[in-house]
Structure 1
Amino acid sequence: MLAIARQKAANTGEKNVSFEVGADVPKQGPYDVVMGYSLFHLVPDMEKRFAQIHELLPKGGYFITKTTCLGQRGAGIGGALKSLAIRIAIPVMQLIGKAPYVRSFSVKELEHAVTAAGFEIVESGNHPKGPPPAHYIVARKV
């Protein structure tokens, strides 16, 4: 996917675009936008990463993320059962080496971490609604 993205950016002639692997945060900016998808539940130091991203952006720059909130309990019987199954399955899979580190947090906890890093949330929502929800956030550096 990174190779395809890099090639598409090269084909447009755009030179101010960077695609990084995994949880690595670039060391220098500034960037107008930093995006991170399906990532922050897999890093133990999410708050530190948000602070690093904040430093890479100028005032008014955007941070966009979509992150699974595994700590958000599902609604109704079906949602509650699915949430419980996920919370049981992940540690078992980790024990047998089939799952990486996974952090559980709620939508509220994720949004708090984003705002605590110095961002204001411009728009957010769950897509899909879950359970567990994948929470989409567009935040601006203040």
Structure 2
Amino acid sequence: MATEDLSKTSSLPPYPQMIMEAIDALNQPEGANKSSISKYMESKYGEMPPGHADLLTAHLTKMKDSGELLLIKNNYLKPGADAPLKRGRGRPPKPKEPLPPGVVLAPPRPRGRPRKDPNAPPAPKKLKPSAGPPKVSKTGRPRGRPRKVQPQLVQNGVEA
């Protein structure tokens, strides 16, 4: 019994071919919906493989994305000869000037920050700038918290 099922599925033409055939045979000006395509395929080829609905959906989506079919109001139809080409998302690229013959381009630079050289000597430590006179604002006081004043010892041993 299982060999009969395999022989039936292997004798079926590819799904894109069956889909195009169904759209041609249904010959509707507004196109054919998924259920009518499925019914036509089942009537012509008999019992379809298990998972037929999922396979049909996947192939219809793939054909729609590649531009082989148009989806208008849930109906699939073949694009006409005067139909515009399907564009991808985003801004279209600028047209490129053809290069003169004999010109060889360098390989493009990789994106992102270049990796460190593992064999390079370690970089010297950066020195902190010396603490010079404090910066003074318009009010005449230096910025920030005032420094702690350390008590100075007087010579006779009493603090000031």
The interval holding the TM-score normalised by the smaller chain is: under 0.3
**TM-score, normalised relative to structure 1:** 0.25
Q: Greater share of strand residues, 1 or 2?
A: 1
TM-score (ref. length: structure 2): 0.23
Which structure would you say has the larger RCO, counting Cα contacts within 8 Å and 6 or more residues apart?
Answer: 1
